[in-house]
């Protein structure tokens, strides 16, 4: 990257985007309504317009949630983006922007966030880590030996690790994915089931605060949610010996309230009593990580 570059992060509720220099200086940043109700083609129009308004350039990096065919730049399916099925994101954006398709990079949103945190955030200097995004769903991006590892496109999909085969039905069609138990969406559902207020997004902030203060129902809820998430992370620890986890997304603000349960879950599912050496770190770039990594 020889000059300022535009990056876009398509989320479940907003489009985060901006322009960053090769030295890592944030030159411009914005948030837009993607207009999902008007369908995928309108959203693609919006993304191209944002790219132009940010100054365009000779390339575009974009992070999108869901299952990708990375080599072709196709979004195969996205549980949290209705209607986004078998969509040629790279080709459609190249056509709308006039860019050579080879200059349009389409990446999973959590992978993009992992690159952002590695470059400018909590992962600076780290060789191996998993960035976990806690939001509408749960995403993950692996950094192994200092580089993004995406496999054929599915590596890092921590949200769809099954921790309870009899659990709630997930948007992917399976039951008991950790996304159905520990995402912000799942936390609100579990809070309501426990007769705790969670009808508004801000209620999770209050629940976490009450858990920190020692209020029994809220503390127990956060412990249980953290334990379910920790069970999925314990699988990662066991398979890859990754010991650094960076948490981003809207629900990551509750990390300290989730941590006791997280460590219990990690201990339950990992081998060799490694929980004490596992680092659980808050992301440093917040909602900017995805677009920065895409850029």
Average confidence score pLDDT of the chain: 91
Residue 4 three-state SS? coil
Stretch among 98-112, 188-202, 237-251 having the lowest mean pLDDT: 188-202
Partner residues linked to 64 by β-bridges:
108
Give residue-wise pLDDT tens across range 160-195. Answer: 999 999 999 998 889 999 999 999 999 999 999 998
pLDDT tens digits, 60-75: 999 998 888 888 899 9
How many CA atoms does the CB half-sphere of 124 hold within 13 Å? 8
pLDDT score recorded for residue 13: 80
Cα distance between residue 190 and residue 224, in whole Å: 10
- Report the distance separating Cα 89 and Cα 45, nearest Å: 11
Nearest Cα neighbor of 6 from 59, 70, 43, 63 is 59
Smallest CA-to-CA distance from 9 within 51, 45, 42 is with 51
Q: Per residue in 24-55, pLDDT tens?
A: 999 999 999 999 989 999 999 999 999 999 99
pLDDT of residue 200: 63
Residues 6+ apart with CB under 8 A from 202: none
């Amino acid at each position: 990257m020889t000059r300022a570059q535009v990056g876009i992060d398509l989320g479940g509720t907003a489009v985060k985007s901006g322009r960053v220099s090769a030295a890592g200086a944030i030159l411009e940043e914005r948030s837009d309504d993607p207009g999902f109700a008007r369908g995928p083609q309108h959203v693609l129009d919006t993304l191209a317009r944002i790219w132009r308004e940010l100054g365009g350039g000779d390339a575009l990096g974009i992070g999108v949630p869901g299952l990708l065919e990375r080599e072709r730049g196709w979004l195969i399916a996205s549980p949290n983006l209705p209607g986004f099925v078998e969509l040629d994101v790279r080709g459609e954006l190249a056509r709308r922007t006039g860019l050579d398709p080879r200059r349009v990079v389409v990446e999973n949103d959590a992978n993009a966030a992992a690159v952002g945190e590695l470059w400018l955030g909590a992962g600076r200097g780290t060789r191996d880590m998993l960035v976990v995004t806690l939001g509408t769903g749960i995403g993950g991006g692996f950094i192994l030996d200092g580089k993004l590892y995406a496999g054929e496109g599915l590596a890092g999909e921590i949200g769809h690790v099954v921790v309870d085969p009899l659990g709630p039905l997930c948007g992917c069609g399976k039951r008991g994915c950790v996304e159905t138990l520990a995402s912000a969406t799942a936390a609100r559902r579990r809070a309501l089931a426990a007769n705790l207020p969670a009808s508004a997004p801000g209620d999770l902030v209050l629940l976490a605060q009450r858990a920190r203060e020692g209020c029994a129902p809220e503390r127990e809820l956060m412990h249980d949610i953290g334990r379910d998430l920790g069970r999925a992370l314990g699988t990662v620890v066991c398979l890859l010996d990754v010991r650094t986890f960076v948490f981003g997304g809207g629900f990551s603000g509750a990390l300290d309230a989730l941590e006791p349960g997280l460590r219990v879950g990690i201990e339950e599912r990992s081998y060799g009593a490694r929980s004490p050496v596992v680092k659980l770190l808050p992301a440093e770039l917040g909602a900017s990580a995805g677009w920065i990594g895409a850029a």
